[in-house]
Structure 1
Amino acid sequence: MPRLIYACTLLLVSLFLSSAPRAESLLLRDARVVDVENGAITRGDVLLRDGVIASLAPDAADAEAADNRLDLQGRYLIPGLWDMHVHFEGRELVEDNALLLPVYLAYGITGVREAASNLAGTVLQWRGEVADGERLGPRIFTAGRKFEGIDSLWDGDREVGTAAQIRAGMDEQQALGVDFIKITENTLQPELFLETVREARRRGLLVSSHVPLGLDIFELTGAGLSSIEHATYLLRLGHPGQAGIARAVRAGEMSAEQARAAYDDSFNQATADAAYRRLAAAGVAVTPTLIGGRKLAWLHETNHDDDAFLAYLTRDFTAQYQWRIERMAGETAAEREARQARYRLVAAQVPALQRAGVTLLAGSDSAALNTYVYPAAALHEELALFTEAGLSPLHALQAATINGARFMGLARDYGSVSAGRRADLVVLNRNPLADIRATADIHAVIRGGEVFDRARLDALLARAAARKQALDNTPRD
Structure 2
Amino acid sequence: MPHHSSSRHIVIRAASLVLLGGASLGWPASPLHAQGAPRPAPRPRTVVIDSISVIDVDARRVTPMQNIVIRDDSIVAVQPASATLPDSIDERVPGRGLFAIPGLVDHHVHLTPGMARALERGARGGVTMVQAMAGDNRTAGEYARAAMSKEIIAPEIAYASVMAGPNFFTDPRFIGASLGYAPGKAPWAQAISSETDVALAVAAARGSGAEVLKLYAMLDSTIVATFTAEAHKQGMRVVAHGTTFPARPLQLAGAGVDVLTHAPYLSWQGAPELRPEDSWKRIEGPYAKVRADGPELLAVLTAMKAHGTYLEPTLWVFARDGVKPEVAKWGAALAVRAQAAGIPILAGTDGFVGPDSVPLPYIHRELQLLVEAGLTPAAALATATTVPARAMRRERTHGVIAAGRVADIVLLEGNPLADIRNTTRIRQVVLRGRPLPR
Compute the TM-score of the two structures, normalised by the length of structure 2. 0.79
Could you tell me which residue of structure 2 aligns to residue 151 of structure 1?
167
1:276-291 map, 5 Å? 276-291=301-316
1:77-116 map, 5 Å? 77-89=100-112, 94-95=113-114, 97-116=115-134
Deviation at 1:267, TM superposition (A): 1.9
**Are positions 1:429 and 2:429 aligned together?**
no
Could you tell me which residue of structure 2 aligns to residue 35 of structure 1?
56
- If each structure's helix is expressed as a fraction of its own residues, which one has the higher value? 1
**Are positions 1:62 and 2:85 aligned together?**
yes
Letter in 1 for 2:92: R
How far does the alpha carbon of each residue in 1:131-182 deviate from its partner, in whole angstroms, 9 at most, with x for none?
1222221100001x41111132322432123443443321212222211111
Q: Is the 8 Å Cα contact of residues 100 and 375 (structure 1) preserved in structure 2?
A: no
**Are positions 1:72 and 2:88 aligned together?**
no
Q: Is the 8 Å Cα contact of residues 182 and 207 (structure 1) preserved in structure 2?
A: yes
Alignment CA distance shift 1:345-1:175 (3 Å) = closer
CA–CA separation in structure 1 for the residues paired with 2:138 and 2:252: 28
Number of matched pairs: 379
CA–CA separation in structure 2 for the residues paired with 1:376 and 1:69: 25
SS at match of 1:269: coil
CA–CA separation in structure 2 for the residues paired with 1:251 and 1:47: 54
Q: Is the 8 Å Cα contact of residues 277 and 358 (structure 1) preserved in structure 2?
A: no
Could you tell me which residue of structure 1 aligns to residue 244 of structure 2?
212
1:262-273 map, 5 Å? 264-267=288-291, 269-271=293-295, 272-273=297-298
CA–CA separation in structure 2 for the residues paired with 1:172 and 1:291: 32
1:380-459 map, 5 Å? 380-454=364-438
1:336-415 map, 5 Å? 339-366=324-351, 377-415=361-399
Q: Is the 8 Å Cα contact of residues 443 and 453 (structure 1) preserved in structure 2?
A: no
- If each structure's strand is expressed as a fraction of its own residues, which one has the higher value? 2
How far does the alpha carbon of each residue in 1:324-356 deviate from its partner, in whole angstroms, 9 at most, with x for none?
xxxx8xxxxxxxxxx323321221222211111
CA–CA separation in structure 1 for the residues paired with 2:239 and 2:420: 27
Q: Give aligned-pair identity as a percent.
A: 28
**Alpha carbon RMSD of aligned pairs, Å?**
3.1
Letter in 2 for 1:231: A
**Are positions 1:135 and 2:160 aligned together?**
no
SS at match of 2:311: strand
Deviation at 1:275, TM superposition (A): 3.5
Deviation at 1:276, TM superposition (A): 1.8
SS at match of 2:85: helix
**Are positions 1:50 and 2:72 aligned together?**
yes
Q: Unaligned regions of 5+ residues in structure 1, if any?
A: 1-18, 300-327, 329-338, 455-477
Deviation at 1:51, TM superposition (A): 1.8
How far does the alpha carbon of each residue in 1:355-381 deviate from its partner, in whole angstroms, 9 at most, with x for none?
11111110000179x999979621111
CA–CA separation in structure 2 for the residues paired with 1:69 and 1:88: 34
CA–CA separation in structure 2 for the residues paired with 1:413 and 1:400: 15
Deviation at 1:290, TM superposition (A): 0.7
CA–CA separation in structure 2 for the residues paired with 1:79 and 1:431: 13
Deviation at 1:443, TM superposition (A): 0.4
Q: Is the 8 Å Cα contact of residues 27 and 66 (structure 1) preserved in structure 2?
A: yes
**Are positions 1:223 and 2:255 aligned together?**
yes
Which has the greater radius of gyration?
Answer: 1
CA–CA separation in structure 2 for the residues paired with 1:172 and 1:261: 33
Q: Which has the higher contact order (CA 8 A, sep 6+)?
A: 1
Deviation at 1:194, TM superposition (A): 3.4
Deviation at 1:278, TM superposition (A): 2.9
Letter in 2 for 1:26: V
Letter in 2 for 1:206: R
How far does the alpha carbon of each residue in 1:98-157 deviate from its partner, in whole angstroms, 9 at most, with x for none?
32111111111110000011x2211111111211222221100001x4111113232243
Alignment CA distance shift 1:284-1:255 (3 Å) = closer
CA–CA separation in structure 2 for the residues paired with 1:354 and 1:198: 26
